[in-house]
């Protein structure tokens, strides 16, 4: 039913779904999205991640919760559809909620100065810039510092 609904929503005439079938399913509380955790549940997990880490940049290979990492990646991908006005599960309210926690839609364009400022704070607190390889307070900063060193060597 879910696949037929998707086809119907896109105007695909091969769909066996009809408006009246949708109404009947909605009447009995049919859930169109049966992901393991609904969007709000994963958003709450992301908010917890932000509280613990100080940022919303969940690493792509996040061993503690790979499902959250996959969800974050998915939000970035569907945001492109949302921006074009294509049908997708991202709503204006969801974009608002993600923006509220400083979600980075395009991680390739993360402002350099913003991360540099985090390094300055680290330096002021520790007296050096040798951010540990697995710096639990800010894994992104650790990765960024390694990347700066690598780029310098090139």
DSSP classification of residue 89: S
- pLDDT for the residue numbered 7: 65
- At 75, the pLDDT band (50, 70, 90 cuts) reads very high
- pLDDT for the residue numbered 21: 79
pTM above 0.75, yes or no: no
- Residue for token digits 């509220």? 100
Taking CB atoms within 8 Å and a gap of at least 24, the contacts of 68-77 are 68/42, 71/42, 71/46, 72/46, 75/103, 76/105, 76/106, 76/107
- pLDDT for the residue numbered 61: 82
Taking only the tens place, the pLDDT of each residue in 13-66 is: 677 777 787 788 777 766 666 655 689 999 999 999 999 888 888 888 888 889
- pLDDT for the residue numbered 148: 87
Residue 2 clears pLDDT 60, i.e. is over it: no
- At 151, the pLDDT band (50, 70, 90 cuts) reads confident
Taking only the tens place, the pLDDT of each residue in 84-141 is: 988 888 899 999 999 999 898 887 656 678 888 889 999 999 999 999 888 888 888 8
DSSP classification of residue 107: G
- pLDDT for the residue numbered 71: 93
Taking CB atoms within 8 Å and a gap of at least 24, the contacts of 119-126 are 119/144, 119/145
Alpha-carbon gap, residue 74 to 89, rounded angstroms? 10
Residue 83 clears pLDDT 90, i.e. is over it: yes
């Amino acid at each position: 039913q879910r696949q037929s609904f998707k086809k119907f929503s896109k105007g695909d005439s091969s769909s066996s779904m009809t408006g009246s079938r949708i109404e009947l399913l909605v009447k009995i509380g049919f859930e169109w999205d049966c992901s393991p955790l609904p969007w709000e549940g994963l958003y709450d997990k992301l908010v917890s991640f932000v509280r613990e880490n100080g940022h919303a940049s969940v690493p792509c290979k996040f061993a503690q919760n790979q499902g959250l990492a996959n969800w974050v990646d998915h939000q970035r991908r569907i945001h492109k559809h949302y921006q074009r006005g294509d049908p997708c599960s991202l709503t204006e309210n969801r974009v608002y909620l993600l923006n509220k926690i400083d979600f980075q839609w395009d991680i390739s364009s993360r402002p350099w100065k913003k991360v540099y400022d985090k390094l300055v704070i680290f330096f002021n607190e520790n007296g050096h810039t040798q951010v540990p390889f697995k710096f639990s307070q800010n894994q992104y900063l650790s990765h960024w510092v390694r990347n700066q060193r690598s780029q310098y060597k090139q």
